Amino acid sequence: MEFDSPYGNKYADLLSNVSNFNIIESTLREGEQFANAFFTTESKIKIAKMLDEFGVEYLELTSPAASEQSRQDIKAITSLGLNAKILTHTRCHMDDAKIAIDTGVDGIDCYWSSSYLNFLSRKGIEVRFSSEDSFRSDLVDLLNLYKTVDKLGVNRVGIADTVGCANPRQVYELIRTLRGVVSCDIECHFHNDTGCAIANAYTALEAGATHIDTSILGIGERNGITPLGGFVAKMYVADKRYVSSKYKLEMLREIDNVIANEVEIGVPFNNYITGFCAFTHKAGIHAKAILNNPSTYEIIRPEDFGMTRYVSIGHRLTGWNAVKDRVEQLDLVMTDEEIKAVTQKIKTLADIKPLGIEEVDTLLRDYHREIYGRNQ
Ligand SMILES: [Zn+2]
């Protein structure tokens, strides 16, 4: 397909699914394996509804065989009538599959057994076949196995970087090869131990994968998997129109905050889109450029995510253009020379300690009053 790149050129890539993918949101399965996670039925329902409204295509839930409460929770969520399809994991036991089907799920993830696969396909349920630790498995064995299950009629095969060791080049090569071997969909699950989870997800789509696993804030086993917000940020940059039409982007902040509260962590300062400084500009030269044309230093429009840009001015790196912008916001009228002089004042004070926005505003108003008197 042909699509826009952030650099303005158009190019065609026949394998790429960058503008045609599904999110399998696994906060209620992988996320439950996060050290701090303990979701009550009530909070699972809240999270499921929120993700459904955001627009994810699938929700993956903890196996009903894990505990009695887990089974009841799946039933509660499948009865909500959400648009998102509900998936769960099972071990390769017929009993597990029967329990799962009774909860009303739309799809099941399973491991190897042809009689088991036959049983599931007779039930008209979506079936994913996956292996663990795909990047450390023997490639020939893996491809043969997936070719066989593809012929048996599974809907998807799954590739999992269970230990988080893969890099984007390895991902591209494996998925591209697999794409040539199976005709079914390809789902990918990337752990983030070495910081490649978002890049790997993106590259997998470029190589022909169709489904990506995410969790809110990336929570999961160890340091987790591809985070929903970071993945969406990456895909938005690749194809803004497609991503904005599919997902309610302005919900991301609420989604990240709800999970941060649930699992008692903060949203990281450097988090994609929702981190507190994701749209803060500080250096004088950046601030000047941003005020003229935001796209110079912003690849993501904060407005599209219901966020606001902030230009920080009360520090020693500030510049007079940023101060001028604030002066205009405060409805004060000053010449450029006066603004340059007051900027110098701010820099001198900020060399001792940074100033809050209220302090800067007071300083600007006082300075204005000194020159023009009270009534101007
Ligand atoms: Zn995992």
CA of 255 to the centre of ligand 1 (A): 20
> Which pLDDT does position 4 carry in this prediction?
57
Fill in the DSSP letter of residue 23: E
Instruction: Give φ, ψ of 347 to 5 degrees.
Output: -60, -40
CA 279 from centre of chain: 17
| Helical axes 357-372 vs 336-350, angle rounded to 10° | 140
Structure tokens at 319: 């510049």
At residue 81, does pLDDT exceed 60?
A: yes
Q: Which two tokens stand for residue 229?
A: 């917000």
Task: Give me the pLDDT at residue 256, please.
Answer: 97
pLDDT tier for residue 318 given thresholds of 50, 70 and 90:
very high
CA-based torsion, 248, 253, 254, 255: positive or negative: positive
* Ligand 1 centroid to residue 285 C-alpha, Å: 43
Rounded distance from Cα 28 to ligand 1 centre (Å)? 12
**Three-class SS state of 374:** coil
**187 three-class SS:** strand
Exposure on the CB side of residue 28, measured as CA atoms within 13 A:
31
End-to-end C-alpha distance for the chain, whole angstroms:
60
Assess whether pLDDT exceeds 90 at residue 94. Answer: no
The encoded tokens of residue 169 equal: 């080049």
Region 268-284 average pLDDT: 90
Cα 17 to ligand 1 centroid, rounded to whole Å: 22
Which of helix, strand or coil describes residue 260?
helix
Q: Tell me if residue 191 is catalytic.
A: no
Domains, the chain, with CATH or none: 22-262 (3.20.20.70), 280-372 (no CATH)
More confident site: 44 or 113: 44
Q: What is the pLDDT of residue 124?
A: 78
pTM metric for this prediction: 0.89
pLDDT in tens, 5-42: 666 555 568 899 999 999 999 999 999 999 999 999 99
Average pLDDT value for residue range 45-74? 96
Give the mean model confidence (pLDDT) for residues 45-69.
96
Q: Is the pLDDT of residue 375 over 70?
A: no
* 191: phi then psi, degrees, rounded to nearest 5: -85, 160
What is the pLDDT of the chain when averaged over all its residues?
Answer: 91
From the candidates 89, 189, 281, 286, give the one annotated as an active-site residue: 286
Q: Phi/psi at 10 (nearest 5 deg)?
A: -110, 140
Per-residue tokens: 85: 């399809």
Q: Dig out the tokens for 374 from the structure.
A: 């009270």
Taking the centre of ligand 1 as the mean of its atom positions, its distance from the CA of residue 15, in whole angstroms, is: 26
pLDDT for 179 equals 97
Taking alpha carbons only, the member of 171, 245, 177 closest to residue 202 is: 171
**d(C-alpha 318, C-alpha 38), whole Å:** 45
Q: What 8-state DSSP symbol labels residue 266?
A: P
What backbone torsions phi and psi does residue 85 show, to the nearest 5 degrees? -75, 145
| 183 C-alpha to ligand 1 centroid (Å) | 24
pLDDT tens figures, 335-356: 999 999 999 999 999 999 999 9
- What is the identity of the amino acid at 301? R
Cα–Cα distance between 23 and 88 in angstroms, integer? 15
Provide the sign of the torsion angle of the four alpha carbons 182, 184, 185, 188, taken in this order.
Answer: negative
Contacts of 137 (CB under 8 A, 6+ apart): 131
Asked whether residue 165 carries a pLDDT value surpassing 70, the answer given is yes
Question: Does 190 or 92 have the greater pLDDT score?
Answer: 190
pLDDT digits (tens, 9 = 90+) for 248-272: 999 999 999 999 999 999 999 999 9
Residue 211 pLDDT grade (very low, low, confident, very high; cuts 50, 70, 90): very high
How far is the C-alpha of 54 from the C-alpha of 337, rounded, in Å? Answer: 49
Measure the CA–CA gap between 280 and 297, rounded to whole angstroms. Answer: 11
337 CA from centroid of ligand 1 (Å): 59
Helix and strand numbers (H, E) in the chain are 14, 12
Q: How confident is the model at residue 113 (pLDDT cuts 50, 70, 90)?
A: low
